Chain A
């Protein structure tokens, strides 16, 4: 996680530095996504903000991901545009996935306590940009991955305190398809 934060900081610092030299152009891409997989489809909201340079784009993104467990992925986004019009592109995201709820509601399971921890986030796919006046409509399809951890804690009853406590760790991995539609400024 420290390395992710360090990388983000370096990228942003480099971006700001280059933007000041007017070699970069700032863009904000805000999308809504449908996420589908083995779990029921869910909606996600995503914003990516960064800088374009030549046929490349790099930025920092975050989203509210409602697939299976609600979480907030925070990631680095990079895109490579193809063709003279720079409309078709490939992109990749990599970062961390953070749970919205740290502690599960009691009805989630029979466990005495259940805590969530974050995991990994990645998203890679292909997209197409339609220029509309000074903005663009952006559509992408991608394969997305997010992981999370959970820990259940059972307080075992006993006659003589302190009573034993048992733990069970859960590792969730979600491989799913994301289709996004957004606006790029």
Chain B
């Protein structure tokens, strides 16, 4: 026993000493990120490149405006698709206007007003195949933020973004200092044909925007909201808009919806009603309705305002609901009903039908004849619906992966007219 124990004990002590020299805890982390590096152009280069070209794939659809038989569809931060919708069952993508940084659109007659980061671009679209730049106003809008930083200079503009996927491996706690973002990019099959493009010829009519719009035209004024401001432009002159003034509305203003002589403005904290009566160049705040902090597009039918609140965005908040607010003389606002939804965003109303984009639940159609007891007529499971325009018995719905059109002549039988499918990347 002793013969074995002593050498064994020595062996164990030796191994213990050996093992203790091998102790180490390590941690590495790896992350794959998509780096978007801005590509700069001079202002003159950028202006020269703002023109229509052949139709392009719809990759990342944004805001929509309808005027006549044309759909103006924003390609987020890239430009505008012009879609000939003379036959809603077979819309034709006819051209693409390259506008770096574009997020919003307003249309009056044959003139398109669009943002390009902080600049306001005015275009003549009387011939959609040959769009002409009419005016370019620099730094009249608030510049968008990217990851908390504003990237622009006085002499150069961002013309596009270079995308690069990179995987970094580093010790834990190393702090790469890189914003890791993955943008969902989808590709839409392009069945457009630009061989025969009729002239827009919309005279002085104003395009109908969606509820997520930040541009609105009432008569001879263009109203834009971004950041915390409501900015007014006089668009009477044919050679381009004239800046009139800018008013602070609220922190983080998101949407603007014109109705009669009022502007309904949605912000993080509520809805604000501005009157244009008598002073369209100087809108006056006449009412407001505050709610829990959230994103909130708003529409109105004159008697009621319909506000959707959703969580999961920079607006913060936890509410996912449709608020119905009674309007007294379009001024006093009081909440009368709340409907809990999944993740509601854009909405539109035509007669007694209320259309609500409810995130991944798709499009929900309500009978809103009794706002206190709205009934869900139909849910159209079309993926992540973002915004809708319902007019002339056709609901145009934009989702993250398609542009849909539904015929709702018979509310009991809402059926699909057309779908421009998106190819997921």
The answer to whether A167 and B76 touch across the interface, beta carbons within 8 angstroms, is no
The answer to whether A169 and B15 touch across the interface, beta carbons within 8 angstroms, is no
Q: Is B8 part of the contact surface with A, judged by Cβ < 8 Å?
A: yes
Interface residues of B in 157-197 (CB under 8 A from A): 172, 179-184
Residues of B within 8 A of A143 (CB): 19, 22
The answer to whether B313 and A159 touch across the interface, beta carbons within 8 angstroms, is yes
The answer to whether A169 and B31 touch across the interface, beta carbons within 8 angstroms, is yes
Residues of B within 8 A of A127 (CB): 12
Interface bracket on B: 35 or more
Contact with A along B284-314 (1 / 0, CB 8 A): 0000000000010000000000000010111
Q: Is B384 part of the contact surface with A, judged by Cβ < 8 Å?
A: yes
Q: Which of A125, A155, A159 has the most CB of B within 10 A?
A: A159
B318 to chain A, nearest CB (A): 13
The answer to whether B30 and A169 touch across the interface, beta carbons within 8 angstroms, is yes
Residues of A within 8 A of B315 (CB): 159
The answer to whether B30 and A161 touch across the interface, beta carbons within 8 angstroms, is no
Residues of A within 8 A of B400 (CB): 162
Interface residues of B in 1-38 (CB under 8 A from A): 1, 4-5, 8-9, 11-12, 15-16, 19-20, 22-33
The answer to whether B29 and A171 touch across the interface, beta carbons within 8 angstroms, is yes
- CA–CA, A177 and B384, complex, Å: 53
Residues of B within 8 A of A142 (CB): 19
The answer to whether A88 and B11 touch across the interface, beta carbons within 8 angstroms, is yes
A160 to chain B, nearest CB (A): 7
The answer to whether A163 and B25 touch across the interface, beta carbons within 8 angstroms, is no
- CA–CA, A168 and B12, complex, Å: 41
The answer to whether A141 and B16 touch across the interface, beta carbons within 8 angstroms, is yes
Chain B: CB-nearest residue to A85: B4
A162-B184 contact in complex given A125-B15, A169-B30, C-beta closer than 8 Å: yes
A136 to chain B, nearest CB (A): 13
The answer to whether A128 and B12 touch across the interface, beta carbons within 8 angstroms, is yes
Residues of A within 8 A of B183 (CB): 164
The answer to whether A161 and B343 touch across the interface, beta carbons within 8 angstroms, is yes
Q: Is the interface of A mostly helix, strand, loop or mixed?
A: strand
Residues of A within 8 A of B316 (CB): 157
Residues of B within 8 A of A37 (CB): 23-25
Q: Is A126 part of the contact surface with B, judged by Cβ < 8 Å?
A: yes
The answer to whether B31 and A161 touch across the interface, beta carbons within 8 angstroms, is no
The answer to whether B19 and A125 touch across the interface, beta carbons within 8 angstroms, is yes
Residues of B within 8 A of A169 (CB): 29-31
Residues of B within 8 A of A87 (CB): 4, 8
Q: Is B407 part of the contact surface with A, judged by Cβ < 8 Å?
A: no
- CA–CA, A176 and B21, complex, Å: 9
A36 to chain B, nearest CB (A): 7
Choose one: B4, B8, B180; the contact of A167 (CB below 8 Å).
B180
The answer to whether A177 and B28 touch across the interface, beta carbons within 8 angstroms, is no
A81 to chain B, nearest CB (A): 11
Interface residues of A in 123-171 (CB under 8 A from B): 125-128, 139, 141-143, 154-171
The answer to whether A166 and B19 touch across the interface, beta carbons within 8 angstroms, is no
Choose one: B20, B295, B386; the contact of A177 (CB below 8 Å).
B20
Residues of B within 8 A of A164 (CB): 181-184
Contact with B along A38-73 (1 / 0, CB 8 A): 110000000000000000000000000000100000
Choose one: A68, A88, A154, A177; the contact of B180 (CB below 8 Å).
A154
The answer to whether A38 and B24 touch across the interface, beta carbons within 8 angstroms, is yes
Q: Is A185 part of the contact surface with B, judged by Cβ < 8 Å?
A: no
The answer to whether B182 and A163 touch across the interface, beta carbons within 8 angstroms, is no
Q: Is A9 part of the contact surface with B, judged by Cβ < 8 Å?
A: no
Chain A: CB-nearest residue to B76: A160
Q: Is B91 part of the contact surface with A, judged by Cβ < 8 Å?
A: no
B66 to chain A, nearest CB (A): 20
Chain B: CB-nearest residue to A126: B15
Residues of A within 8 A of B258 (CB): none
The answer to whether A159 and B254 touch across the interface, beta carbons within 8 angstroms, is yes
Chain B: CB-nearest residue to A89: B8
B53 to chain A, nearest CB (A): 25
Chain A: CB-nearest residue to B314: A157
Residues of B within 8 A of A160 (CB): 62, 76, 313, 386
A166-B182 contact in complex given A157-B316, A172-B27, C-beta closer than 8 Å: yes
A-B contact pairs, 23 of them (CB 8 A): A68-B25, A85-B4, A88-B11, A126-B12, A139-B12, A143-B19, A158-B313, A160-B76, A163-B312, A164-B182, A164-B183, A165-B182, A166-B180, A167-B180, A170-B29, A171-B28, A172-B25, A172-B27, A173-B25, A174-B25, A175-B26, A177-B20, A177-B23
Besides the contacts A159-B313, A162-B184, what 14 more A-B pairs have beta carbons closer than 8 Å?
A38-B24, A85-B1, A126-B12, A126-B15, A128-B9, A160-B313, A164-B181, A166-B31, A168-B29, A168-B31, A169-B29, A173-B27, A177-B20, A177-B23
Q: Which 7 A-B pairs have the closest CB atoms?
A: A166-B180, A157-B314, A37-B23, A168-B31, A143-B19, A38-B25, A173-B26
Interface residues of A (CB under 8 A from B): 36-39, 68, 83, 85, 87-88, 125-128, 139, 141-143, 154-177, 179
